[in-house]
Structure 1
Amino acid sequence: MASSLPSSVSVTPLPPFKPDLYQRAWSSIPHPTLPLLATCHAKAVTVFSLSTLTKHSSLSGGHTRSVRCAAWKPGLPPGKLCLVTGSFDATAGLWRWEKEADEGGEGSMEVDVTKGSNASRPDTEKDASDDDWEFTLVLEGHENEIKSVSFSPSGQYLATCSRDKTVWIWEDVGAAEDEDEWETVAVLSEHDGDIKAVAWCPDVPGRNKASSNRHGSLDVLASASYDNTVRIWREDGDGEWVCVSVLEGHEETVWGLQFEPRTDNERFPRLMTFSADGTVRIWTLQVEEEEPTVEDGRDANNPFRSAMSGIPNTMRRGLREDWVCTAVLPKAHTRAVYSASWSSDSGLIASTGSDGLIVVYGEEKDVTKPASSAEEQSKETGDHGNARSRDGWRILGTVANGHGAYEINHVTWCKRYDAGAEQKGTEEMLVTTGDDGVIRPWQTRAD
């Protein structure tokens, strides 16, 4: 189905977050509902307010080496926060914030935002001290630095991955909401290289439909590795986490990945991956529509039984998925793509990396055929302003040297709540995080 896209998107800088960190920052993670942004740097995390673009609070003293990554635990009530951090010290730390909202519902975390209010309000945010955060639990087991942490949609599971070539899955077994007790339920060790990132499939209708009446769990995990591959994991009927697909196509390290945050229909969410080979790829789960027949007690039209090459021996016969690369986004980056973010509102993708370039892509139509090769794509792109691929994606805007001479380590879409926003809590902006320690917001406008 064709979709309407602007001819271009302008990306212009907004005033940077304050204070500057003056040291390499790795990533900035927006809270799913509150106007908060957690930035990882050195041995700490600085939480910024998206309303004032200034420091809200900080987390320090929990790790002995740099904090590389973080994730917000979903589904907590107003007044409570939980953040997991992953560090170069090979541990993951669990942090909690508990503070009652002020009378009238406007507290230090601006609880009113969660109620969907976009009206302009006076700034009631309070400065918070480090003591407001409590370091409640250390998760140990990895042998080397943790590169990525990610919560499942329900918050029941936490995935961590490491330079030690393993993915650990932890389960929240605490009897109470604020009781921190986690246990290891799986250690996945089929990658042949450092594991750069993990991501869970979001809880969207397509996920539920594609997983109904199947033999795998609803929770789906993907991992990206230095071995140039991506692996898809599910829990089987026996409670074992198994690899159900190996995605091959990138020519160098896969730096990260993200499932499609929103689908226009009930298809299973696609998966975006980005790599040191300078490309961003889109992968689609193939679901065969056939009459069911009984074979070994399982439905023959189960997509998990689709044939694929390179299946490790540990894969269960009844849990196999066929993922196909259905798009290679137009080539714009000249070096490694460190980060890319897929907007849940607009469907636009933004990417950045070693070359300091920020690129915004849009999709013109649904992808229904396998992607042409990266080489064929690059021949078609030409100048960035008009670049497009055969698969429906084109470049809408670029910014060169987004952080000057410094590399950009992370980019994310997040909601705007600042004074310049026309529609607070609805309007989007980009936030980039770089080696210069500056956290830069960017206004995006369709032209």
Structure 2
Amino acid sequence: MPPSSATITPLPGGPFSPDLYARAWSSIPHPTRPLIATAHEKSVTVYSLSTLTKHLSLTGGHSRSVRSVAWQPCTTTSSSSSPSQKLRLVTGSFDSTAGLWSFDEKEKSTFSLEKNMNNKQLGEEEEGEEDEEEWEFNLVLEGHENEIKSIAFSPSGQFLATCSRDKTVWIWEEVDEDEWETVAVLSEHEGDVKCVAWAPSEYSGKGGRFYGTDCLASASYDDTVRIWREDGDGEWVCVFVIEGFGGTVWSLEWEKEKRVMMNDEKEGKGKTRMSRLVTACQDGGVKVWELVEEEEEVEEDGGKGDWSVPNRMRRELREEWRCVGEMPKVHTREVYSVAWSGETGVLASTGGDGRVVLYGEEEKEEEEEKKKKEWKVLTVLEGAHGPYEVNHVTWCKRWDKGTERKGEEEMLVTTGDDGVVMPWEVRFS
């Protein structure tokens, strides 16, 4: 049963320490390790999710503020069939470059990342600058003309997407370890590109409808979201444009693969459908979108602006996406960030009004035994960071001593203009 209500309270031991004392943009958890990386000023601070304390800082790679950060999934490269043993992340900066950082656990066997965090949890002295020296600034990716706003890795880690104030999205491919090349520059947006996100799993569609399995979404100041795929000739093309927003689309996130599988198994379908996409907008709106499958008939909206297809798009590459959920309007200002729980399916949003809002999805019976899914507000947390704006919210796994299910139970983490990274405990009923 979906939750009917929720409570959000500060996690014991929080906030993460020390405070950053400067505007912090976002905090991104590692997909499998007890680490979370926060972008702020010209650096990235990595915190331990075990101790809620600083693990290290990565500095010296950029001349202006770091706006975004992304952890690379474990990958294989063309020179090796085994997964890379490097822990790697990429930083996107206002200096228009992206930087690749790495920590080689195989070569530096004298230093164990996990051991160091465990030592800190036991109260032993931190290693400080020695820890930071273990990380290497390997590579700078150049090409954007203005600030990089967002970066994201594809599920395989093979592709990296970057977007910028220069109205473009760049797709980079790792051709060998620490060697990247540009495979596409996407320039169809008419405004700054605010956010990029890859669909979490491969999905080729029914009947071979799609040419590529990777799917990228980009959100822009031109009040649209674009869906991109690789065609049969290796070119990246826009297959759909989502419109009908009340201003800039600040954030978007895909439904987690685990939730897709759980929902489809519950309905007896198996894993057949594409992940849904949630968007957050300048007008305070939060909406959920889904791909229309081939066999479904779609009536065009008569020019109302809910969806559109560029005239230059080849017919065979056309997809259709529709809005299937709209959150009750709670936010009074821009929604800067939205996050989708992989465990409960609960959505979280936050933004300029300092609120954190949770939404749950429920089914309602309609005529002729039809079921319709609707979203309702589970709880509203006022002033999560006092009078300051909250720039980012994310779900991540708990590894602290207060949980009995380390690496399984979820918590919320918010990042604000006050330089505080705050963990929150969420309870459902």
Classify the TM-score, shorter chain: 0.7 to 0.9
Cross-structure match for 1:360:
358
Q: Is the 8 A contact 1:34 1:111 kept in 2?
A: no
Say if 1:367 and 1:403 are closer, same or farther in 2 by CA, change over 3 A.
farther
1:185-227 Cα shifts (integer Å, max 9, x gaps): 1100111100000000011xxx435266234200000000001
Q: Which amino acid aligns with 1:342?
A: W
- How far off is 1:7 after superposition? 2.5
Cross-structure match for 1:159:
161
Mapped partners of 1:445, 1:143: distance in 2: 45
Choose which of 208, 218, 224 in structure 1 pairs with 2:203: 208
Identity %: 60
Q: Output aligned runs, 1:317-328, within 5 Å.
A: 317-328=315-326
Say if 1:257 and 1:112 are closer, same or farther in 2 by CA, change over 3 A.
same
- How far off is 1:6 after superposition? 2.5
Say if 1:100 and 1:313 are closer, same or farther in 2 by CA, change over 3 A.
same
Q: Which amino acid aligns with 2:10?
A: P
1:397-418 Cα shifts (integer Å, max 9, x gaps): 1110000010000000000011
Cross-structure match for 1:386:
none
Cross-structure match for 1:413:
395
Q: Which amino acid aligns with 1:346?
A: T
TM-score w.r.t. length of structure 1: 0.83
Say if 1:7 and 1:80 are closer, same or farther in 2 by CA, change over 3 A.
same
Q: Is the 8 A contact 2:354 2:387 kept in 1?
A: yes
Is 2:13 the partner of 1:7? no
Q: Output aligned runs, 1:104-143, within 5 Å.
A: 107-109=112-114, 127=127, 129-143=131-145
Runs of 5+ in structure 2 lacking a partner? 76-82, 265-271, 298-302, 367-371
Q: Is the 8 A contact 2:204 2:212 kept in 1?
A: no
**Aligned length in residues:** 394
Cross-structure match for 1:284:
290
Q: Is the 8 A contact 1:110 1:125 kept in 2?
A: no
- How far off is 1:422 after superposition? 2.6
Cross-structure match for 1:432:
414
- How far off is 1:438 after superposition? 0.5
2:358 is paired with a residue whose SS is strand
TM-score w.r.t. length of structure 2: 0.86
Q: Which amino acid aligns with 1:7?
A: S
Q: Is the 8 A contact 1:79 1:99 kept in 2?
A: yes
Say if 1:78 and 1:165 are closer, same or farther in 2 by CA, change over 3 A.
closer
Is 2:215 the partner of 1:217? no
Choose which of 253, 258, 281 in structure 1 pairs with 2:253: 258
Choose which of 99, 123, 138 in structure 2 pairs with 1:93: 99
Say if 1:425 and 1:78 are closer, same or farther in 2 by CA, change over 3 A.
farther
- How far off is 1:122 after superposition? 6.4
1:318 is paired with a residue whose SS is helix
1:95-137 Cα shifts (integer Å, max 9, x gaps): 001234999x993236999xxxxxxx96899645321211100
Say if 1:58 and 1:106 are closer, same or farther in 2 by CA, change over 3 A.
closer
Say if 1:58 and 1:364 are closer, same or farther in 2 by CA, change over 3 A.
same
Q: Which amino acid aligns with 1:28?
A: S
Choose which of 144, 151, 157 in structure 1 pairs with 2:146: 144
Runs of 5+ in structure 1 lacking a partner? 114-120, 291-300, 302-306, 369-389
Q: Is the 8 A contact 2:339 2:348 kept in 1?
A: yes
Q: CA RMSD in A?
A: 2.7
1:208 is paired with a residue whose SS is coil
